Amino acid sequence: IYHKTEYRERRNHYAVFSVNSPISGFDTDRESFIGAYNGFGNPKAVLAGRSQNSVASGWSPIGSHYIDITLAAGEEKSLIFVLGYVENNENDKWESSGVINKKPALELLAKFKTDEQVDMALEELRAYWDNLLSNYHIECDDEKLARMVNIWNQYQCMTTFNMSRSASYYESGIGRGMGFRDSCQDLLGFVHLIPERARERILDIAATQLKDGSTYHQYQPLTKKGNLDVGSGFNDDPLWLIFGTAAYIKETGDYTILDEITPFDNNENDADTLFAHLKASFYYTANNKGPHGLPLIGRADWNDCLNLNCFSKTPGESFQTCSNYESGIAESVFIAGMFVAIGKDFVKLCRQRGLDDEAEKAQLEIDKMYDAVIKHGWDGEWFLRAYDAYGEKVGSSQCEEGKIFIEPQGFCVIAEIGIKEGLAKKALDSVKTHLDTKYGIVLQQPAFSKYYLNLGEISSYPPGYKENAGIFCHNNPWVSIAETIIGRGDRAFEIYRKTCPAYIEDISDLHKTEPYVYSQMIAGKDAVRHGEAKNSWLTGTAAWTFINISQYILGIKTDYEGLHIDPCLPYNLKRLTITRKFRGDIYIINISNSNNAQKGVKLITVDGKPVEGAVIKPVGDGNTHIVEVTMK
């Protein structure tokens, strides 16, 4: 069975579905196979015991083979079904008029004719994944933790890196493209798997950036060009490019990526180094601030649905692309936290390139932003979320609804804002008091019960769903990471467990999505079905959760100089072994926590020799090295 939609016109590829057995019939039209009113549980062809030999013409194609089999008692017969995809050269598409060139399809099917060929192919695939997943591997008494860290979380990171959100049919269909922010975040959890592909992705993303440092919000993976289907002006986007690039360099030590000549807006005549792109990203934020010295939010920040310049009253109008009131006033405390956190990497990259004056200038901008958050972004018990187009507070105790939001509480503490002032602990305690539930931390409280023209799409959802006080799994790890920064390992792991699929298998009837992958959101406490998950697989939750558990809770964090060892563990993790492949070497890291310390390393040895500080510098000999870590 060959599926050749648009092959005649614009495509050079088609799909093939085959079985290594003679067939007695087939179907390729869904309605002919299922029947008009039968449903998937009672297909017409199965009930009738014969196929219709239907040939789909548009609409809903399927693939079905009808095979007559007679088995004697105890007899077995193996059938091999292959679903594949092949391409032809433009000048070699047809065997004859209207008949596709099947040669590449037949060559593909010839590789999987026998059980032995299939078994060998599956073994090769298994070996490929065993090798890939061995880059980070944990052994511990917690089987669920090991299963998620060693297999499913990393596998999902690979999936989101490959597909971003572009293949999701949940909301936008296949035309959405790959997000600038999404792709930068996805590579955070992928870079340790295949760093060379992460490098390529960074350069592709940077090539869609505009000269002033702003970005398209998405780009198309085939053309690698930005588009305006969901707009631009999401003012957090530029900073993620710095974050993703820093993650790649920390993993690989490859600073040469900064010298790669990369176009702006895919214009080869307007190109500069990747470092110049990072500088543009940094100063786009530094030079676009509002009345309080905080970053202008633009159309939105990470929360695409917090549209403070939208003011939409028209049904069907896109919240992301319309802008009925360009205030030049609406500011984001969340972006401010990002700027302080990610800006530190920009400063380090400046110094590495010998640009000390540039580093000092950037540090001054970071210091100003830090002070602005302390002065204008603190509400008394937690960090504000934003200022709206009128300069009024969003995410404040003064608000009628939406008094506290999760995003700035996580990212401002990740940036270490408020730690020395004693504010970080207050903010995280407020999260536990006001936002925490048994299924995870909701995005904000109280939920919006009506539409707020000045807030946009966030207030259009039913209470407890999506951005309106749903449990957005993507930013739960930010709060868990923040907890590790202030040393509360038990609380960090508690947050991790609540949204981790392996720990909630017993509520699968409620949760409803797959019990091995993360979902975008879970219905919040204001929802009718609190605890029901939505939109699995293609979500930034995968990357952020892996960063949280691998680098902050288990504490094996990549850094420019090497591996920074700083676990922040729950009381029940007393001993664990982590195998980490890093810059050509293999490190077997044994962590002993017999004193139930949540944070703090007493001693590190590498091959029996004590290490000063907490950073293991790469040995660089390609061998295996034994690391012993004793917590306080």
CATH label of the domain that carries residue 601: 2.60.420.10
- Residue of 376, 470, 482, 386 lying closest to 427 (CA atoms): 482
Residue keyed to tokens 């205030």: 327
Residue 593 lies in a domain: yes
pLDDT value at position 201?
96
Of the ranges 161-170, 351-360, 364-373, which one carries the lowest mean pLDDT score?
161-170
- According to the model, what pLDDT value does residue 175 have? 52
**Entry pTM:** 0.93
Predicted local confidence at residue 376, as pLDDT: 98
Percentages (nearest 5) of helix, strand, coil residues in the chain? 35, 20, 40
Q: Are 589 and 562 in contact (CB under 8 A)?
A: no
Mind listing the pLDDT tens digit for each residue in 389-447? 999 999 999 999 999 999 999 999 999 999 999 999 999 999 999 999 999 999 999 99
- pLDDT at position 322, please? 82
Least confident of 282-296, 320-334, 557-571: 320-334
pLDDT at 5: 78
Residue 556: its pLDDT value, please?
98
* Nearest in space to 369 (alpha carbons), one of 424, 292, 421, 478: 292
Question: What is the arithmetic mean of pLDDT over 251-270?
Answer: 97
Q: Is the pLDDT of residue 251 over 90?
A: yes
Domain finish residue from 129, 152, 183: 129
Check residue 178 and give its pLDDT.
83
Residue type, 587: Y
Active site residue 304: yes
Domain presence at residue 395: no
pLDDT tens per residue across span 601-612: 999 999 999 999
- Taking the C-alpha atoms of residue 263 and residue 210, their distance in angstroms, rounded to an integer, is 9
> What tokens does 230 get?
């969901």
pLDDT category at 360 given cuts 50, 70, 90 is: very high
Residue 24's CATH number: 2.70.98.40
Q: Residue 124: what are its φ and ψ, rounded to 5°?
A: -65, -40
Domain span at 603: 555-631
Q: Would 189 be classed as within a structural domain? A: no
Residue 172: per-residue pLDDT: 43
Name the phi and psi angles at 522, rounded to 5: -130, 135
**Rounded to whole angstroms, how far apart are CA atoms 336 and 144?**
36
- Candidates 407, 399, 212, 205; CA nearest to 302 is 407
Q: Is the N-terminal amide bond of 477 cis, ω within 30° of 0?
A: no
Q: What is the pLDDT of residue 176?
A: 61
The pLDDT score that the predictor gives to residue 58 is 81
Q: What percent of the chain has pLDDT over 70?
A: 98
3-state secondary structure of 597: coil
Q: Which of 129, 160, 178 is the last residue of a domain?
A: 129
Cα(210)–Cα(280) distance, rounded to whole angstroms? 9
- What angle, 0 to 180 degrees and rounded to 10, lies between the N-to-C axes of helices 274-286 and 195-206? 60
Look at 177 and 358; give whichever has higher pLDDT: 358
Residue 166 pLDDT greater than 70, yes or no: no
Asked whether residue 412 is assigned to any structural domain, the reply reads: no
Residue 167: pLDDT band with limits 50, 70, 90: low
Tell me, yes or no, whether 277 lies in a domain: no
User: Of the listed 27, 304, 436, 566, which one is catalytic?
Assistant: 304
Torsion sign across C-alpha atoms 89, 90, 91, 92:
positive
Is 16 among the domain residues? yes
Average pLDDT of the residues in 5-24 = 90
Indicate if the pLDDT at residue 505 is higher than 60: yes
* Long-range pairs for 229-233: beta carbons < 8 A, 24 or more residues apart: 229/175, 229/176, 229/177, 230/176, 230/177, 230/318, 230/320, 230/321, 231/299, 231/318, 231/320, 231/321, 232/299, 233/298, 233/299, 233/323
Alpha-carbon gap, residue 136 to 603, rounded angstroms: 22
Mean pLDDT of 305-322: 91
Given a cut of 70, is residue 298 above it in pLDDT? yes
Q: Residues with Cβ < 8 Å from 81, sequence gap 6 or more?
A: 17, 18, 19, 65
3-state SS assignment for residue 471: strand
Token reading at 591:
């962590």
Tell me what pLDDT residue 159 has: 92
Residue 116 one-letter amino acid: E
| Helical (H) or strand (E) element with 261 | strand 261-264
Mean pLDDT (the chain, rounded): 95
Provide the domain count of the chain.
2
pLDDT-derived band at 9 (thresholds 50, 70, 90) equals confident
In a domain, 287, yes or no: no
Res 350 pLDDT > 90: yes
Among residues 63, 94, 129, the one where a domain terminates is 129
Q: Are 63 and 2 in contact (CB under 8 A)?
A: no
Task: Please report whether residue 229 resides in a domain.
Answer: no
Residue 170 pLDDT exceeds 70: no
